[in-house]
Amino acid sequence: MVDQTERRAPNRRATVQPVTPGQRAEQAARTGGEPTLEFADMVPYDAYVQASALHKMQHPLSSDPGEMSFLMVSQIMELYFGLTCHELRETQRLIRADQIWEALAPLGRAKLHLEGLNAAWQGLRWMSPADFNRFRNLLGEASGFQSAMYRQLEFLLGLRDSTLIRPFRRQAEVHAALSAALTTPSLWDDVLALLARRGFDLPDDLLDRDVAVEHDPHPLVEAAWVRIYDDASPDNHLRLLGEALSAVAEEFGDWRWNHVKAVQRTMGAKVGSGGSAGLAWLQRSMARVVFPELWSARTAM
């Protein structure tokens, strides 16, 4: 059976045609610099961005005008989760190939995407408990806790808990993707393997452990980062990698803290929509640190 994306692809390829700089110059000369207003098919921008499809994906459950903000900001965050995962997977690919300098670019983009993710919270700062309560009950058990793409992001960053994929058991494709992510080395696992290849003394039981289990901080990993940071030369790419990873971890931590603040502001310590303890559950989850030895090593520097 032909996949839906495969059916759409030919039309998209037919609509979004490559254009050379010379062709652009000729077009501008013909139109006197005015934009093109006639197209044989759908507008190329719409064919590429799928804007028409994006703006049909909002289906509020109430007539409350504020719900649209809540829904669309949630969708924007989902897109940022996916984009950040894309950059971190590219980082992994390059680190596995020992291309540390090249890995800094996708890591830098991931940090900027996380900044955008954090900025999205600003679109909900207007929401008071009364505002949220006008439509909250209509959401039923729907909760951000159930975001599969957020789980993908956590797994990539090394925060791993196999119980958190259970809600997706009846969504076979989503569950399979999460199971695969859980049993694939995280970005931090790949960094540890890189350190071992670069001659740092890391034990085999750390490098060959079950990656589905969350990594426990190890003193030899901390010692490796102390040594790396002791070399301040500009060609110390491992030190640059450490700083880029730290920036990503900081932005991710900011997102988790912003989530806590948003819950405090809109619902206090009420039970969460997904059945958790809500605020208390989020606060406990923040104790799990991303790239832990990068932070503990700073005490010994």
Q: Is 79 a domain residue? A: yes
Tokens representing 90 are 């590219």
Q: List pLDDT tens digits, range 160-209.
A: 999 989 999 999 999 999 999 999 999 999 999 999 999 999 999 999 99
On the CB side of 122, how many CA atoms lie within 13 Å of its CA?
Answer: 6
Q: Is 294 a domain residue? A: yes
Q: Is 111 a domain residue? A: yes
Instruction: Extract the runs of DSSP E, i.e. beta strands, from 86-242.
Output: none
Q: Quote the distance between the C-alpha of residue 109 and its chain's center.
A: 11
Is residue 288 a known part of a binding site? no
Note the pLDDT of residue 2: 39
Calculate mean pLDDT across residues 198-226.
Answer: 96
Residues in contact with 291: Cβ distance below 8 Å, sequence separation at least 6, in sequence order: 157, 158, 188, 191, 245, 246, 249
Calculate mean pLDDT across residues 31-43.
Answer: 87
Task: Tell me the percentage of the chain whose pLDDT exceeds 70.
Answer: 92
Number of structural domains (the chain) is 1
Is residue 136 a known part of a binding site? yes
- What is the value of pTM for the model shown? 0.90
CATH code (residue 209): 1.20.58.480
Please say if the pLDDT value at position 17 is more than 90: no
Please say if the pLDDT value at position 100 is more than 70: yes
Domain carrying residue 188: 71-136+145-300
Tokens representing 131 are 């505002």
Q: Is 219 a domain residue? A: yes
More confident residue, 272 or 137: 137
Taking every pair of Cα atoms in the chain, the longest distance, rounded to a whole number of angstroms, is 69
Note the pLDDT of residue 285: 75
